[in-house]
Amino acid sequence: MDGPSNRVLVVDGDPRSIGEYVRCLGDDFEPDEATATLTEIEKVLFGDDADETGAAHFEVHSRNQGEQAVEAVEAAVAAGSPYSIVFIDTRLPSEMKGLEAAGRIRELDPNVNIVIVTNSLGADPDSLGQRIPPADKIFLFKKPLHGAECRQLAAALCGKWHADRTLRKANEDLEQRVVERTAALQKIAYFDTVTRLPNRLLLIEYLKKRIEASEDTEGDTAVVLLDIGRFSLVNETMGYDSGTELLRSIANRLSRTFAQDGAGEPATVGRFGADEFAVIVPGVESDAGIRDIAERVKRTVEEPFLIDGRDLFLKAAVGVAWHPVHGRSAQQVFQCAEAALHRSMRSLNHAITYYHSEMRNRARHLFSLEGDLRGAIEDGQITAFYQPQQSTETGELAGVEALARWIRPDGSIVPPSEFVPLSEEMGISDMLFETIMRTVCRDLTGWREDGNWDVPVSINLSAHQLHNQDLVSLIKGILSATGIEQQLINLELTESVLLEDLTIAQPLLNDLSSYGFGIHIDDFGTGYSSLSYLAQLPVQTIKIDRSFISKVDAPGANTKVVEAIAALGKAMGLEVVAEGVETDQQYAFVRRLGCDLVQGFFVAKPMSAQQLRVWCDGYEDTQSLKHGSSIVAIEKARK
């Protein structure tokens, strides 16, 4: 819109005609009375571009040959000062006649208004529109030239040219805003706002494109998913800003690790979920290559991060699947990778897990269990089995652990490792805990009716129970209704659950302990946190995890962990239980270390309430010696 606004090019071989154009388009042109309204029209069309009398200002250029006219238009367009109108005579004294020149001019400037000037009576405006489109920018003006008509036409066409240009500019601005807004919305829809990495939607779209192009490429496309273990603990202990910084640090480190190294197509790193990331690597040519990628992902994330001046050591679960082996679609491959990731999350050390078909069958099995579990709880199919705990000092029965069992109507038993985690996912673990609690109190009542019973029973608490504000009142209500003393109930929490929710667990456990419940720590030694929490909590007993006990009688076994835990318990005045004792060598070892109680198949397998009562009767009959003879007594009881 800058610069001269009404540039007119006149192309005519007759100098007198050019002079007439200059005269009628000049600033001194005086229209007669019949065309006096022309100045008003110009004032409306041009506003500030008109003088006080309303006369428009035109800048008139002229050429007398077609080739020169084409060159002039080309130069004007290149200079950014295009013509508004080109008046061009059909008869020019050159090889390039008027219509041909008009066609060339239209190619150079699609927006200029071209006026074909002719003295032919048979000229057809419609045919001009078809020959030199568009029709709304090609006009016919017949000689002889009349000054007022020429000026009026020029004023109208220049006004039209300005309006068209303004509209084009507005459309361009609108299109640019649409492009920018679309890009912004696309960024919101397809990119994670925290890490600026592709999100789940974009990762799936990318894998779809890779699969579509896979016929033209070699190798498989590997999908590696990773989950940051105990990430919520960072948010809770260090704040959400530190959690955000950690996520960005992980994203940057993964992106640098898998940046293009010049060989093949680069990997794509994205944020797949709250604390989950994905790495998609195309063109992997071997299983060894897939293993190398997975190990690089895990190694990259488990190197320490410096966040707010503190070193953070993370544990990453990693699941791997690849196209086309594990699916022909992006959704299938990601589903397989997620299944492998969940298996890795459940493993002891978050080992890298590669998908295999058994996982899909297991997923279907769990889906079927999910449909039956709620009904099983309501129908009374969930019951408690009991595993005895024996005193290493006296050989007497010193405790019992209650273990949930699901017995179907056909007599088949679903192990707790399957349905207990499932109850957490379904949000019905409170129902499961209440069922076990009521079952234990009912069985305790029955045992007491059969004779004296003063052996405490341990019941497991899950992470979900720690968040149940009604837990204390629920337990008290059940004990009050059944007449069971709180001294007969111990509550067990795994170390990993306890450390993950320590701020919530501490006041809850204080309340339970003050009421008279025993507090036990299960699977001790498998956590990653400081042991200082033991001094903060009302813990009476720690149970050495079975994974340590199972190795103590192996050739060349390292028993330092078991020895250290036993020594720690003794130093802090805690009762120590060795869990998972299955051989006499293991029993002798933990007894020598001073473990107070043993639990495991060597003493007895888990059994029903009725079986336990029978077992206890046989155990009491045969248990007559103590200390060194306790092993003999237990072996007789087992037989």
Q: Which residues of the chain are in CATH 3.30.70.270 domains?
A: 200-355
Beta bridge partners of residue 311, listed in sequence order: 306
Task: Determine the average pLDDT of the residues in 99-116.
Answer: 94
Highest mean pLDDT (candidates 39-43, 47-51, 493-497, 633-637): 493-497
* pLDDT, position 3: 41
* C-alpha 198: how far from chain center: 9
Average pLDDT over residues 519-523: 90
pLDDT above 80 for 371: no
pLDDT over 50 (residue 1):
no
Q: What pLDDT is stored for residue 533 in this prediction? A: 73
**Confidence band for 555, pLDDT divided at 50, 70 and 90:** confident
pLDDT at 498 over 50: yes
Mean pLDDT, the chain, rounded, equals 85
Q: What is the pLDDT of residue 501?
A: 62
Cα(152)–Cα(371) distance, integer angstroms: 84
* Residue 487 predicted with pLDDT over 90: yes
Q: How confident is the model at residue 500 (pLDDT cuts 50, 70, 90)?
A: low
Q: State the CB neighbour count (10 A cutoff) for residue 297.
A: 26
Contact 280, 214 (CB under 8 A): no
Strand locations in 309-378 (E): 310-312, 316-323, 353-354
Band of residue 625 on the pLDDT scale cut at 50, 70, 90: very low
347 pLDDT exceeds 70? yes
Model confidence band, residue 619 (pLDDT cutoffs 50, 70, 90): confident
Give the separation between CA 74 and CA 69, rounded to whole angstroms.
9
Assess whether pLDDT exceeds 50 at residue 468. yes
Q: What is the pLDDT of residues 6-40, one digit of tens each?
A: 899 999 999 999 999 999 998 777 665 444 455 55
Tell me the pLDDT band of 618, cut-offs 50, 70 and 90: confident
Architecture label for domain 200-355: 2-Layer Sandwich (3.30)
Burial-class residue 360 by CB neighbours within 10 Å (0-12, 13-18, 19+).
middle
Question: pLDDT at position 346, please?
Answer: 78
Mean pLDDT (whole number) for 313-337 = 91
Residue percentage of the chain with pLDDT more than 70: 87
Identity of the amino acid at 529: S
Residue 316 has pLDDT above 50, yes or no: yes
Instruction: Indicate left, alpha or beta for 11 from its phi (over 0: left) and psi (-120 to 50: alpha).
Output: beta
Tens of pLDDT, residues 539-550: 999 999 888 898
Q: Quote the CA–CA distance of 264 and 486 in Å, as a whole number.
A: 67
Strands (E), 219-339: 220-228, 268-271, 276-284, 305-307, 310-312, 316-323
Question: Can you tell me the distance from the alpha carbon of 73 to that of 83, in angstroms, rounded to the nearest whole number?
Answer: 7
Over 70: is that where the pLDDT of 432 sits?
Answer: yes
Residue 542's alpha-carbon distances to 437, 486, 498, in angstroms, are 21, 19, 13
Residue 624 has a pLDDT of 43
**Phi and psi torsions of 407, nearest 5°:** -105, 115
Q: How far apart are CA 182 and CA 173, in angstroms?
A: 14
Average pLDDT over residues 520-543: 78
List the one residue out of 279, 275, 280, 286 whose CA is nearest residue 300. Answer: 279
358 pLDDT exceeds 90? Answer: no
Q: What is the 3-state secondary structure (H, E, C) of 501-562?
A: CHHHHHHHHHHHHHHCCEEEEEEECCCCCCCCHHHHCCCCEEEECHHHHCCCCCCCCCCHHH
CB hemisphere CA count around 426 (13 angstroms): 22
CA atoms of 214 and 210, how far apart (whole Å): 6
Whole-number pLDDT of residue 425: 72
Q: Rounded to an integer, what distance in angstroms lies between the CA atom of residue 245 and that of residue 232?
A: 13
Nearest to 479 by CA among 459, 462, 508: 459
Separation of alpha carbons 601 and 622, rounded Å: 18
Average pLDDT over residues 235-251: 91
Looking at the predicted structure, is the pLDDT value of residue 637 above 80? no
Domain 7-168 matching CATH 3.40.50.2300: the answer reads yes
Cβ atoms of 508 and 480 closer than 8 Å: no
pLDDT the model gives residue 410: 92
Q: CA-to-CA distance for 574 and 597, rounded, in angstroms?
A: 12
pLDDT at 628: 42
Q: Which two tokens stand for residue 113?
A: 């208004």
pLDDT at 630: 45
Return d(Cα 355, Cα 337) in angstroms, integer: 6
Over residues 128-178, the pLDDT tens digits come to 888 899 999 999 998 888 888 899 899 899 989 999 999 999 999 999 998
| Mean pLDDT on 249-266 | 81
pLDDT value of residue 33: 47
Contacts 24+ apart (CB under 8 A), 561-566: 561/525, 562/589, 562/590, 562/593, 563/593, 565/524, 565/525, 566/590, 566/593, 566/594, 566/595
Across-strand partners of 61?
9
Is residue 434 over pLDDT 50? yes
Picking from 205-209, 215-219, 337-341, which range would have the lowest pLDDT averaged per residue? 215-219
* Phi/psi of residue 24, nearest 5 degrees: -75, -20
115 neighbors 121 (Cβ within 8 angstroms): no
Residue with tokens 């020598």: 592
DSSP line for 391-459 = ETTT-SEEEEEEEEEEE-TTS-EE-HHHHHHHHHHHT-HHHHHHHHHHHHHHHHHHHHHHS-----EEE
What integer pLDDT is reported at residue 622 of this predicted model?
58
Q: What is the mean pLDDT of residues 575-600?
A: 94
Report in angstroms the alpha-carbon separations of 522 from 202, 497, 536, 576: 42, 10, 17, 10
Asked if pLDDT for residue 633 goes beyond 70, the answer is no
Where in the sequence of the chain do the CATH 3.40.50.2300 domains occur?
Answer: 7-168
Q: Distance between the two ends of the chain, CA-based, in angstroms?
A: 104
**Helix, strand, coil distribution of the chain in percent, nearest 5:** 50, 20, 30
Contact 222, 281 (CB under 8 A): yes
C-alpha span between 286 and 619 (Å, rounded)? 59
